[in-house]
């Protein structure tokens, strides 16, 4: 798998196919890896990268703080994640791209459309995250990590990361668990951070990423500014509230809502929906 150093961080990425670029923002929360496209659900049924690469030049990557890509102890925001997405397109000399996101990838896609709409040909948004239970989940994961570090220290959090579980599977290990597991140099520096400053960064990240019950990634005002053609495919569970998908549809002026709820979504009909929408907006 090729890697690149982008803004000082290693990024694992994969390019496949031909045609217009499709930047793939993987589902899986803080486990947003290339493997997320084959780990389960409609994307595995679809064989997403292999199938979509017949119509697009697919660019899949492991978001910073996920998988074997790098990370940096700093305040995490949707804008930071969005800037990384554009930096990957820059690395590949792609001026514009379709953006497909699943789960938290939808939030990054929305942030990209706010940050630089001219570079986003269209948005394919599967299972937006948002709602009260989603906010509670994200905040509680950060709070568990904060309390763990406050009680046991950064070295203990680094050891939790070495176990190989990411933040989404082991909240006490924290948002930099994957880097502690995969990068000894990162781990050596991580344990030297000032504890008070580190905890403040975690609190700031928590509030930036999970600050309200709106669909994550953009404020209501920002969503209303997104004129990019968008297809919203709703989820229906505690993290991917149907209400979050409807909120995006109500606020984004050029959004279509695919009125098919789980469990009636599958790899075949989601693929058709994505390709038909893209075909209308060439």
DSSP string for 54-76: TTSEEEEE--TTSTTS---SS--
Render pLDDT for 153-202 as a digit per residue (tens, 0 to 9): 999 999 999 987 899 999 999 999 999 999 999 999 999 999 999 999 99
Closest CA to 38 of 21, 54, 26: 26
Q: CB-based burial of residue 85 (10 Å sphere; 0-12 exposed, 13-18 middle, 19+ buried)?
A: buried
DSSP for 194-261 reads -HHHHHHHHHHHHHHHSSSSSPTTS-HHHHHH--S-EEEE---SSSB-HHHHHHHHHH-TTEEE----
Three-class secondary structure of residue 35 per DSSP: helix
Mean pLDDT (whole number) for 53-61: 98
- What is the DSSP-derived secondary structure letter of residue 159? H
- What is the DSSP-derived secondary structure letter of residue 2? -
What are the extents of the domains in the chain?
3-130+214-280, 133-209
Mean pLDDT (whole number) for 241-269: 97
Mean pLDDT (whole number) for 238-259: 98
Contact in structure between 145 and 174 (CB atoms under 8 Å): yes
- What is the DSSP-derived secondary structure letter of residue 264? S
Alpha-carbon dihedral of residues 161, 164, 168, 171, nearest 10 degrees? Answer: -30
Which CATH number is 3-130+214-280's, of 2.40.30.10, 3.40.50.1820, 3.40.50.2000, 3.40.367.20? 3.40.50.1820
Handedness of CA 219, 223, 226, 232 (dihedral sign): positive
For residue 261, the Cα-to-chain-centroid distance in whole angstroms is 21
pLDDT at 61: 97
pLDDT at 164: 77
Contact in structure between 256 and 245 (CB atoms under 8 Å): no
In degrees and rounded to multiples of 5, residue 194 shows phi and psi of -60, 125
Q: Note the pTM of the prediction, 2 decimals.
A: 0.97
Render pLDDT for 76-109 as a digit per residue (tens, 0 to 9): 999 999 999 999 999 999 999 999 999 999 999 9
- Beta bridge pairs of residue 60: 14, 24
pLDDT at 40: 82
């Amino acid at each position: 798998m090729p890697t690149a150093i982008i803004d000082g961080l290693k990024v694992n990425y994969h390019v496949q196919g031909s045609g217009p670029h499709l930047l793939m923002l993987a589902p899986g929360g803080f486990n947003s890896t290339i493997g997320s496209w084959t780990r389960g659900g409609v994307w595995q049924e679809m064989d997403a990268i292999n199938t979509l690469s017949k119509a697009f030049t697919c660019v899949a990557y492991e978001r910073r703080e996920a998988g074997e890509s790098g990370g940096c102890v700093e305040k995490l925001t949707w804008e930071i994640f969005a800037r990384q997405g554009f930096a990957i397109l820059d690395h590949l000399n792609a001026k514009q791209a379709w953006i497909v996101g699943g789960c938290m990838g939808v939030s990054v896609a929305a942030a990209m459309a706010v940050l630089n709409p001219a570079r986003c040909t269209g948005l394919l948004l599967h299972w937006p995250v948002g709602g009260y239970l989603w906010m509670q989940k994200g905040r509680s994961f950060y709070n568990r990590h904060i309390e763990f570090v406050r009680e046991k220290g950064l070295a203990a959090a680094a050891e939790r990361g070495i176990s190989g579980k990411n933040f989404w599977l082991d909240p006490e290990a924290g948002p930099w668990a994957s880097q502690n597991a995969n990068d000894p140099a990162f781990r050596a520096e991580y344990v030297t951070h000032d504890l008070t400053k580190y905890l403040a960064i975690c609190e700031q990240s928590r509030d930036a990423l999970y600050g309200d019950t709106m669909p994550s990634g953009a404020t209501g005002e920002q969503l209303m500014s997104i004129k990019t053609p968008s297809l919203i495919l709703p989820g229906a569970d505690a993290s991917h509230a149907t209400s979050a998908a409807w909120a995006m549809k109500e606020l984004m002026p050029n959004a279509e809502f695919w009125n098919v709820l789980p469990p009636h979504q599958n790899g075949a009909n989601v693929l058709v929906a994505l390709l038909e929408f893209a075909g209308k907006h060439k």
